[in-house]
Amino acid sequence: MKAKKANASKFPTYKGKPLVRCGNTIYYGDMKDPYVIKMDIKSTKKLADQDIADEITIQLMRTDSTISTKKQIVKTSKKNGLYLAMDISEAWLERALAHDEE
């Protein structure tokens, strides 16, 4: 039982992949994989008493640290709302990881 808890991720997950937030940047995916998604929250809007992510920049990135930062970025897009950003992020990441396995 203890071994199972030790292996459990300490980060929240979305569709089985970790979500890590640092300020206005969210990383989606496992850094051990060849690709991850980076989402930057560019603007927020008020809804009742909470700030909700409005404009988000999404980047599909390679995790290989030996290549330059510009070459790590594979795709970029802007979406309005976290739901749309997560939807496209999950699709991009799944396709990139599946293509890499071929």
Q: What pLDDT was estimated at residue 10?
A: 83
Higher pLDDT, 59 or 8: 59
Q: Give the pLDDT confidence of 21-53 residue by residue, as tens digits.
A: 999 999 999 999 999 999 999 998 988 888 888
pLDDT at 101 over 90: no
pLDDT at 1 over 50: no
Q: What pLDDT was estimated at residue 3?
A: 47
pLDDT at 69 over 80: yes
Q: Judge if pTM exceeds 0.85.
A: no
Q: What pLDDT was estimated at residue 99?
A: 85
For Cα atoms 84, 72, 27, give the angle at the middle one, nearest 5 degrees.
40
